[in-house]
């Protein structure tokens, strides 16, 4: 079904689309004929990614610098996007996460994740949904969650809670908006190594994991596999799928290894080292944003 014109005439927005899994999905949609819109907070990275994607695959990639934690900014972005016509698809990929003992979390630390993952995802979804409904247009939403939505996970409580909320939103709106021709599904990836996520979720050598043991298929995922699943769900050929939460983790969560429970054995010094590494990563990211 992945013909070069699968998404011809379609417009797809990917939040957090300038790097990592978001960029990989956006590139795949572009290859399949879509006009791709990517958004995020780091304008320079978005613009460079858009240029690189078009140079490699042709087509059109439009960057939008926006903080999805700001509901008014999200509405302004949606107004600007709709000037070019309605979207056909939305991929809620923007997220954030870091390892921490819950007792060490500050309110600001919790909000830093929840405001992006939970609130931001809702703001973008609702901004698109109400415009689809007002215009009588069909729409399609995919949200990237995690296998923790079934199991929970220690040491990533803000993310686990927020992803569970997105799962509830997906199922709820699949029913509420179904009569308007709007589909909502979610993808729950297992381990897909990306530089940004790995720096915060495996910040020390002691935390490196052997996925030949924890994943029945014996390896981490490849980004093209996730991009193909997202393309499958966005395609018109799958128009009867809605309200589904689909794992893509090589079977990892079925053997109970998809969480951070193994970190129960870390001591205070380990957690001190982890915090220091994450702070270094955050400082580098802040410097990159200027």
Report if pTM > 0.85: yes
| pLDDT, tens only, 142-175 | 999 999 999 999 999 999 999 999 999 999 999 9
Full set of structural domains in the chain with CATH: 11-288 (3.40.50.720)
Cβ atoms of 63 and 208 within 8 Å: the answer is no
Q: How much is the pLDDT for 208?
A: 55
Query: Between these two residues, 166 and 267, which has the higher pLDDT value?
Result: 166
Sorting pLDDT into bands at 50, 70 and 90, what band is 197? low
Q: Give the tokens for residue 172.
A: 């709820």
- Asked if residue 288 has pLDDT above 70, the reply is no
Q: How much is the pLDDT for 234?
A: 98
Sorting pLDDT into bands at 50, 70 and 90, what band is 204? low
Q: What is the mean pLDDT of the chain?
A: 91
Mean pLDDT of 40-49: 96
Mean pLDDT of 185-197: 84
Sorting pLDDT into bands at 50, 70 and 90, what band is 207? very low
User: Got the DSSP string for 181-245?
Assistant: TEEEEEEEE-----HHHHHHHS-SGGG---HHHHSTTSS---HHHHHHHHHHHHSGGGTT--S-E
């Amino acid at each position: 079904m992945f013909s070069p014109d699968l998404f011809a005439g379609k417009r797809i927005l990917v939040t957090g689309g300038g790097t990592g899994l978001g960029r990989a999905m956006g590139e795949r949609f572009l290859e399949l004929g879509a006009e791709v819109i990517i958004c995020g907070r780091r304008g320079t990275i978005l613009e460079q990614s858009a240029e690189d994607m078009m140079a490699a695959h042709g087509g059109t990639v439009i960057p939008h610098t926006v903080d999805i934690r700001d509901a008014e900014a999200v509405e302004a972005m949606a107004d600007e996007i709709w000037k070019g016509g309605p979207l056909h698809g939305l991929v809620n990929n923007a997220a954030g996460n870091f390892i921490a003992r819950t007792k060490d979390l500050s309110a600001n630390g919790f909000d830093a994740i929840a405001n992006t993952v939970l609130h931001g995802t809702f703001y973008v979804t609702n901004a698109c949904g109400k415009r689809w409904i007002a215009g009588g247009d069909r729409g399609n939403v995919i949200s990237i969650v995690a296998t923790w939505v079934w199991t929970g996970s220690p040491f990533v409580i803000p993310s686990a809670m927020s992803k569970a909320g997105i799962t509830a939103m997906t199922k709820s709106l699949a029913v509420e908006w179904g009569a308007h021709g709007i589909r909502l599904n979610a993808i729950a990836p297992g381990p897909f190594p990306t530089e940004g996520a790995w720096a915060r979720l495996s910040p020390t050598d002691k935390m490196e994991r052997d996925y030949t043991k924890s994943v029945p298929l014996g390896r981490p995922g490849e980004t093209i596999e996730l991009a193909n699943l997202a393309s499958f769900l966005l395609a018109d050929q799958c128009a009867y799928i809605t309200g589904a939460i689909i794992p893509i983790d090589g079977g990892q969560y079925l053997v109970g290894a998809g969480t951070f429970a193994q970190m129960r054995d870390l001591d205070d010094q380990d957690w001190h080292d982890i915090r220091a590494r994450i702070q270094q990563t955050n400082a580098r990211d802040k410097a990159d944003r200027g």
